[in-house]
A and B are shown apart, each in its own frame.
Chain A
Amino acid sequence: MNRQIVRLTYVSLALVGVLVVMTTYWQTWAAPGLADRQDNAIKRVAEFSVDRGLIFSWQPRRRLARNVERTVDGKTLFFRRYPYGRLAAHVVGYSTAGRSRTGLERSLNDYLTASNANLSTLVDKALDELRGKPVEGNDVVLNLDLDAQNVALDELGTQCGAVVALDPRTGKVRVMVSSPGFDPNLVEESFQRISRITADCRPASPLLNRASAGLYVPGSTFKVITASAALEAKKFTPDSSFVDPGYCIVYGKHVNNFDTSSPFGTIDLENALVHSVNSVFCNVGLKLGAKLILDTAKRFGFYERPPLETPADERLPSGLYDDGRLYYPRLDSDVDAGRMAFGQERMLVTPLQMAMIAGTIGVGGRLMEPQAVDRIVTPGGRVIVRQRPALIRRAVSQETADAVAQMMRLAVERGTGTAAQIPGYSVGGKTGTGETGVPGSNTTWFIAFAGRDEETPPELAIAVVLQNQSGTGGTTAAPIARAVMEALLRPTANP
């Protein structure tokens, strides 16, 4: 029997050996993946014993997120408090024990809990642990301007929408708000109150960051892309003239201008953008073809998630959507280029993407990476991450950008966007009214850039979107854009 017993010994040892191997697998190989999972309550709760890093706005000493120390069951835990409540709720997000994390609290978790792998921080952490001191996380400083955030939220009021403003020269995000907002302090304790939030749209979805994860019909703001494509392909110039009959025929159907009662007659491309003439852009689109326009859109960042520090699933790519999925046509004939040229068809965009477009046109065609974070600092004050301006790519040539920028300036000077004029500044903008198919519930837009004068590169680009509007972009969104831009350009005017 001894031979059998020896074999049985091997089998027994192999059984326990498998357990050693699998324990190793879960604790080393699979552990990082498990740590990232949203339902990992163990890791999440365990990280409450870390003195989590603070989050600051661009203005010094304004803490968007701080900690409250409490002793639970003999352990010191650090609970999150958001002193400015809903002011930066969507970008900062929240960190709770019960309901996972969102925003930068989620994507920068490794930095905030000092678990980012780095020799010196690892040593610090190990020393802290040996001393029985709570581990201290790294602090994060954002580019957000709290005063302007406040203005934007006030202006949006009970309307559903979003405002994104950035410095197109560097990509620094100065404003990113989504309405309706929510108070992140309520997420843990009384989530009921958040789910009861109402606004001028249903569902109100207060947790959704509309600025980067809201998809809207771009309407006429998309003409900026079409115009860029037309000039870049050298098939048209600003002076190319068209006869506007007040409509355009696509697949045998009339596409009407916003106001069909007074056709513009003979009009050039520049004035077509200034006055947002659909029929002209419809014909331009038909001439260029859908794929050429989409390729230009891609150069502006369409069909990819805009790079921002927030979690990837809180940012959506812009582009054509078919049945809820991002869709790129195989053939020109798969898409109605005429309607797409003025931002209808199945085109859906995010406010972040539109702000990037306005900025890129303003600064001569250079598409910069949007950055909400300025730097990450260790508890000792050492800067471990400093975000430097990063060029994504040149979207269009300097000439094209300058020509389109000029058209946008004229649109604010004497076209559809006059409500966005700021005395002493050169503002270029484009209005948009996206039809959702329901009368009286249009999506209205205003995208713009603003600088000291026409010669210096603009220091600001903005996109404002509003849902469920009966007015036009020029009357609803443009005034909000102006108010936010003024808050950023003239900080003293808004104490």
Chain B
Amino acid sequence: MTARNRELAGLVVAAVIAGVALASVTIARDAEVSARPLTYGALFLGLYLVAHVVARRTVPYADGALLPLTAVLTAFGLTLNYRLDPDDGGRQALWVLIGVGVLVATLVALRYDYRVLESYRYLFGVAAVILLLLPSVPGLGAQVNGVRLWVHAGPLQFQPGELAKIFLIVFLAGYLREKREVIAQGRLKDFGPLFAIWGAAMLVIVQTSDLGSALLNFGIFLAMLYVATGRALFVAAGLALFVGGAALLYNALQHVQDRVTIWLHPWTDERVYCAALNGQLEFRQNCASYQLVKSLYSIANGGFGGTGLGEGTFTSTDGATLIPYLRTDFIYSAVAQELGLVGAAALLLVFMLFVVRGMRIALRAQDGFSKLLAAGLTFGFALQTFIIVGGVLRVVPLTGITLPFVSYGGTSIVANFLMLAGLLLVSHRANEQSSLQ
């Protein structure tokens, strides 16, 4: 069976999953059996079939597992968002539609040779920094939850950080491919442009206090530097730098200290200072770590088998929300409650499979730029998953970033479809070459 036929079969399976999941949500929510989930499932399949047909024409040799895996992840995301808020589910569907559109457009635009991107590497680097700066531009940027991450353009708003991440990976792949030999020798002057662009990006991110993105971009950078040079010393130096920087930030910024305290001691036996209550004393689990603790309760309530889709508890008996930011930062705790350990592990398994396929593409790619691009994109995907789910599970301090393809959020969806396009393009070229040889 060719890669594309496997892809087609996988997409049908993904569509069945989406249909069944939506059906169980509507049955649980509205206590009715209707043809609606079937329609939605068919539309879902139709959408991905468009991507499939375009892939057949543009990247026929590309890996056949990535698109179905993406479809399954978006099915998770759509179902849960629809279950938590039907209106947001609809909006999320629109964003998946746009995402597939971006995927198709990228595949078509770069169908001959995506490696032209390499020659624009500095452009990508500078563009990433500009994108990151956008939210701070007066009149354009908007502050959401005390963090400047958003840009308003008319009725649209988007988070440029998500796109900047992809652009930075393209820049790093191009730059490191070119300079990897000299950099491996450790001469400082070769690091110049690297530190200029990447350092500027990090500074902007830190200044906006978007710690999750800072951690993510730092991790991607270290990983790509390691892949390019093979020098573990760089990783060690990078980690040392990270620890130093983290300590500096910890001492300088109150909200970093708060995050760490919440992470280490979410529960207190005695009432402590609560800033949200104007300095009154309250248990930390009812104050600063309210979100995290409630999310853990949500996960624990799922148990082994979960409550079932649509049967989870996310609101109080009077309809008040129990877990804030459930659809974005805490979508995983919704998954874990309604689908239980079985469902959450299945979701993580899909992420793992995606990672394995992505890394396989990096291994099979023939040229340095492609290898670095695929490895960078895939590792970014894995690390982003780790940072947000790890934050929810209290493995690391919680920083609000999105769970790829699952969280509610337009820019995130679009950026991840761009990443998928990149992996498909690299994989197509690698497989095409090996089949020609």
- A-to-B contact residues, CB < 8 Å: 1-9, 11-13, 15-20, 22-24, 26-28, 30-31, 34-35, 37, 39-43, 45-46, 48, 72-74, 77, 79, 97-98
Q: A8-B223, A26-B296, A73-B319 are in contact. Are A46 and B301 (CB under 8 A)?
A: yes
Which of A1, A13, A42, A73 has the most B CB atoms < 10 Å from its CB?
A42
Interface flag for B56 (CB, 8 Å): no
Residue of A nearest to B364 (CB): A2
Q: A28-B303, A34-B296, A42-B313 are in contact. Are A6 and B363 (CB under 8 A)?
A: yes
Please give, as numbers and ranges, the residues of chain B lying within 8 Å of A8 by CB-CB distance. 223, 226-227, 359, 375, 379
Q: Give the docked Cα–Cα distance between A77 and B316 (Å).
A: 11
Residue of A nearest to B319 (CB): A73
22 contacts between A and B (CB under 8 A): A1-B228, A1-B371, A4-B226, A5-B362, A8-B223, A9-B359, A12-B378, A13-B382, A16-B355, A18-B390, A20-B348, A23-B393, A27-B302, A27-B303, A28-B303, A30-B296, A34-B300, A35-B301, A41-B322, A42-B294, A42-B322, A79-B317
Identify A12's interface contact among B293, B314, B382, CB under 8 A: B382
Q: Give the docked Cα–Cα distance between A13 and B382 (Å).
A: 8
Q: Give the docked Cα–Cα distance between A357 and B349 (Å).
A: 62
Interface flag for B395 (CB, 8 Å): yes
Identify A40's interface contact among B227, B297, B345, B378, CB under 8 A: B297
Interface flag for B31 (CB, 8 Å): yes
Interface flag for B113 (CB, 8 Å): no
Q: Give the docked Cα–Cα distance between A347 and B375 (Å).
A: 72
Q: Contact between A16 and B340 (Cβ–Cβ < 8 Å)?
A: no
A-B pairs, top 9 by smallest CB distance, nearest first, are A12-B382, A42-B297, A15-B386, A9-B359, A46-B313, A31-B300, A22-B393, A34-B300, A97-B317
Residue of B nearest to A76 (CB): B31
Please give, as numbers and ranges, the residues of chain B lying within 8 Å of A13 by CB-CB distance. 352, 355-356, 382
Q: Contact between A16 and B382 (Cβ–Cβ < 8 Å)?
A: yes
Residue of B nearest to A17 (CB): B352
Residue of B nearest to A27 (CB): B341
Identify B300's interface contact among A1, A4, A7, A26, CB under 8 A: A26
Q: Give the docked Cα–Cα distance between A28 and B306 (Å).
A: 11
Provide the main secondary structure of the chain B interface.
Answer: helix
Residue of B nearest to A71 (CB): B31
Residue of B nearest to A72 (CB): B317
Q: Contact between A23 and B356 (Cβ–Cβ < 8 Å)?
A: no
Interface flag for B351 (CB, 8 Å): yes
Identify A15's interface contact among B31, B286, B383, CB under 8 A: B383
Identify A5's interface contact among B302, B316, B349, B359, CB under 8 A: B359
List residues 279-321 of chain B with CB under 8 A from any CB of chain A.
283, 285-286, 293-294, 296-304, 307, 312-319
Q: Contact between B316 and A39 (Cβ–Cβ < 8 Å)?
A: no
Provide the main secondary structure of the chain A interface.
Answer: helix
Q: Give the docked Cα–Cα distance between A28 and B313 (Å).
A: 18
Q: Give the docked Cα–Cα distance between A5 and B226 (Å).
A: 9
Interface flag for B431 (CB, 8 Å): no
Please give, as numbers and ranges, the residues of chain B lying within 8 Å of A18 by CB-CB distance. 386, 390, 395
Please give, as numbers and ranges, the residues of chain B lying within 8 Å of A4 by CB-CB distance. 226-227, 230
Please give, as numbers and ranges, the residues of chain B lying within 8 Å of A77 by CB-CB distance. 317
Q: Give the docked Cα–Cα distance between A42 and B302 (Å).
A: 10
Q: A19-B393, A34-B296, A74-B29 are in contact. Are A5 and B371 (CB under 8 A)?
A: yes
Which of B227, B286, B337, B356 has the most A CB atoms < 10 Å from its CB?
B227
Which of A13, A41, A48 has the most B CB atoms < 10 Å from its CB?
A41
Q: Contact between A27 and B336 (Cβ–Cβ < 8 Å)?
A: yes
Please give, as numbers and ranges, the residues of chain A lying within 8 Å of B270 by CB-CB distance. none
Residue of A nearest to B383 (CB): A15
Which of A23, A41, A43 has the most B CB atoms < 10 Å from its CB?
A23
Please give, as numbers and ranges, the residues of chain B lying within 8 Å of A97 by CB-CB distance. 316-318
Q: Give the docked Cα–Cα distance between A28 and B267 (Å).
A: 19
Q: Contact between A31 and B294 (Cβ–Cβ < 8 Å)?
A: no
